[in-house]
Structure 1
Amino acid sequence: MTRTCLLHQKAFRRMEDELRGYAAEVDFITMDDEGVFANGFTGEPVSQPVPDMVFGNTDFFFGPKVRAFFRFLIDLPDLDWFQSSAAGMDNETLQAVHAKARLYTTNHTQSEAMAEWAIWQALDWLKAGRQHRAQEKEAEWHRIYHRDFIGSKWLIVGYGAIGQAVARRVKALGGLVTGVRRSGGTDDYADAIVTPEEMGAALRDADITLLCLPHTPETENMADADFFAAMKDDAMFMNLGRGALVDEAALIAEMDRGKPAFAALDVTATEPLPEASPLWRHPNIAITPHDSSLTLGTFVRADETFLANLKRYLAGEELIHLAPK
């Protein structure tokens, strides 16, 4: 029986050579940025596709027809397998797709680009990047005291794929890592692993604290006034998880009192971040628009995850990163 797979036109073009090997088993239908469906190989329009499989990736998620894409999925009579390029599904729409699909698989390869974001932000802060750039702009020559990366103490809250990818890089550069995860245990790239209940001492001692957690009722606003008050005056705070992890008003208030010294946020409670938000204008907060994973390598690695699972799916084998029901 021939299967039907829907994927974005851009993803199909990236993988066209590999997908030709499955052309006898799978009809590949694409959707473009105009919302038009077509046969991937021939380009012929397809009016009412009914896919068994869907590869939902960043081409869709950040594209102009994201709402139409998800409406199409929710309206399908059945969906056998959905491969997501995202690691989690705290988004309500993804939860609805998870409920519909018989099989739902995730992807964790975006952690590599996100880890590089964390190292970039940390190095820029430790090496007084903002101050140096300001001097350069004004053609001023004043030596600036800055800090070592080697020996810096990192607290990584949420020691999953992203946290581990960050830890590998931190250790390679000579930093010290304490990871926080519910199961505790050990890890080759962490000097210590503690549970959330045990992280108080590490928070007070950390030079850099990074959140990599999903948003759940338990983690919402976990970074509150008490959390920030416990940090060192000269510490840095970063969030790569979800904006809802942080009480943003408390962050600003505590920073105005002197700690943490700096914050870098790739996610915020409201996205896009409103122009009126004081986060934009705080002198010691760096904002990026939830794009830490937005690299060509992230697209390619997500494609590779899909291809690996497609091979397994067609062979009747267990899929990798299968989300439990």
Structure 2
Amino acid sequence: MRRGSEEQALVKICLTGDHADEMRPRVDEILCAAGVEGEVIVLDAAGCFDGDPSGIEVVYFSLGVTKYAAAMKSLLPLFDEPQLRWMQGPGAGVDNPIWQPILDRGTRLTNASGIHSEPIAQYIFAYVLHWERNVARHLAQQGARHWEVIRGGDLGAKTLGIVGYGGIGRAAGRVGKAFGMRVLGSRRTPIDDPNLDRFVPPESLHELLAESHYVVLCMPFSDETVGMIGAGELAAMRQDAVLINVARGGVMDEPALIEALRSRAIRGATLDVTSVEPLPPESPLWSLENCVLTPHDAGYSPLGDERLGALFLENLGRFVRDEAMVNEIFTSGLTNR
């Protein structure tokens, strides 16, 4: 922490979520090891602080706190605390407008990139297998009390194309390789990954789309990726391909996707994200039989707060030692949005 030489090092921290009380001793240990005096305040589920929150400098915005309306009502005013110096966010994306004022006034922000990788990779393959092994058709037959052999596919003969080969992409690539799939990955900078059969630079994205039976979107949402998958990209895909979007709805041209699904230009899609959330009742996506929708919950896991808490504690040690923090964000990546 950067403090004046005559000023005593002291930091005021707010912990939130179901595990806040369990984290307090670890926070004390980290502060003590750094020779920093601290005051730790916990925000409970009822929205009550166990101390005075004025002058808060560090906020741990847990995943769990979002379950409690009263706690969120008490938490959000801390965004405007003039002494706030660092906030640990609960998600990987920072496109929500609540984050931009923090960044604009120079408050440090770290996101949760990496903690959602495993559950999202599991989600991706729940739906890869849903399509590959015709799960919906089997359930329909069961409902109709009809017995007929359905011949599914085999992932060992399929190609997985991952657009956005970061933490989530790498986790999905590892699982794909475990199923014997050929794995293609695209991102802005080259990467060396033993599970990647071929790196595809952004300018060759259409090659990845043309070769992949399953196209997974997990790129960050930024000015560069808004509308990245449009009519041209959908036309480049195989007719038997499935699109899985766990990024943001804004990376897709949604009307173009609806048309591609209606015309069977691609086999189907699984969407955990849409351009407007919640998805309006009048959206055609609801009624397309070759589209599976989930309510932006791919990253949820009972281990989420445990993983986020570990990340926060790691970053707290770095913060008080004036070291670079993991996942620090310097811009939202979105302008005028």
TM-score surpassing 0.5?
Answer: yes
State the alpha-carbon separation in 1 of the partners of residues 281 and 204 from structure 2: 38
2:40 pairs with one of 5, 25, 28? 28
2:199 pairs with one of 193, 210, 222? 193
1:38 pairs with one of 50, 72, 90? 50
State the alpha-carbon separation in 2 of the partners of residues 283 and 216 from structure 1: 30
78-87 or 147-156: bigger deviation? 78-87
Say if 2:161 is the partner of 1:149.
no
Structure 2 counterpart SS, 1:38: coil
1:38 maps to a residue whose letter is D
120-129 or 97-106: bigger deviation? 97-106
Structure-2 change in CA distance of 1:69 and 1:95 (3 Å): farther
Tell me by how many angstroms 1:250 deviates: 1.3
CA deviations over 1:167-202 (Å, ceiling 9, x no partner): 111111111111111123432221111111112122
1:68 pairs with one of 64, 73, 82? 73
271-280 or 114-123: bigger deviation? 271-280
Tell me by how many angstroms 1:23 deviates: 7.8
Structure 1 counterpart SS, 2:183: strand
State the alpha-carbon separation in 1 of the partners of residues 88 and 76 from structure 2: 17
92-101 or 261-270: bigger deviation? 92-101
CA deviations over 1:81-140 (Å, ceiling 9, x no partner): 211232231222112223335432222211111111101110111000100111112221
Equivalent residue number for residue 3 of structure 1? 11
Work out whether residues 55 and 84 of structure 1, in 8 Å CA contact, stay in contact via their aligned partners in 2. yes
Aligned 1:285-296 pairs, distance under 5 A:
285-296=291-302
Tell me by how many angstroms 1:30 deviates: 2.1
Normalised to the residue count of structure 2, the TM-score between the two structures is 0.87
State the alpha-carbon separation in 1 of the partners of residues 74 and 233 from structure 2: 39
State the alpha-carbon separation in 2 of the partners of residues 318 and 218 from structure 1: 26
Structure-2 change in CA distance of 1:9 and 1:184 (3 Å): closer
Work out whether residues 46 and 68 of structure 2, in 8 Å CA contact, stay in contact via their aligned partners in 1. no
Unmatched segments (≥5 aa) in structure 1: 40-45
2:110 maps to a residue whose letter is T
Aligned 1:1-325 pairs, distance under 5 A:
1-19=9-27, 21=29, 25-39=37-51, 46=52, 48-61=53-66, 63-65=68-70, 68=73, 71-107=76-112, 108-324=114-330
Work out whether residues 90 and 214 of structure 1, in 8 Å CA contact, stay in contact via their aligned partners in 2. no
Structure-2 change in CA distance of 1:156 and 1:123 (3 Å): same
Structure-2 change in CA distance of 1:94 and 1:221 (3 Å): same
313-322 or 65-74: bigger deviation? 65-74
Structure-2 change in CA distance of 1:208 and 1:95 (3 Å): same
Tell me by how many angstroms 1:17 deviates: 4.9
State the alpha-carbon separation in 2 of the partners of residues 254 and 80 from structure 1: 47
Structure-2 change in CA distance of 1:101 and 1:237 (3 Å): same
53-62 or 129-138: bigger deviation? 53-62
Equivalent residue number for residue 335 of structure 2? none
Tell me by how many angstroms 1:264 deviates: 0.4
Q: CA RMSD in A?
A: 2.1
Structure-2 change in CA distance of 1:100 and 1:54 (3 Å): farther
Unmatched segments (≥5 aa) in structure 2: 1-8, 332-337
Work out whether residues 5 and 51 of structure 1, in 8 Å CA contact, stay in contact via their aligned partners in 2. yes
Tell me by how many angstroms 1:157 deviates: 0.5
Equivalent residue number for residue 43 of structure 1? none
Structure 2 counterpart SS, 1:28: strand
1:87 maps to a residue whose letter is A
State the alpha-carbon separation in 2 of the partners of residues 309 and 280 from structure 1: 41
Give the count of matched residue pairs: 318
CA deviations over 1:37-87 (Å, ceiling 9, x no partner): 224xxxxxx3x4321111123234454257635641332112112112322
200-209 or 64-73: bigger deviation? 64-73
State the alpha-carbon separation in 2 of the partners of residues 9 and 163 from structure 1: 28
1:220 maps to a residue whose letter is V
Tell me by how many angstroms 1:226 deviates: 1.7
95-104 or 186-195: bigger deviation? 95-104
Tell me by how many angstroms 1:210 deviates: 0.7
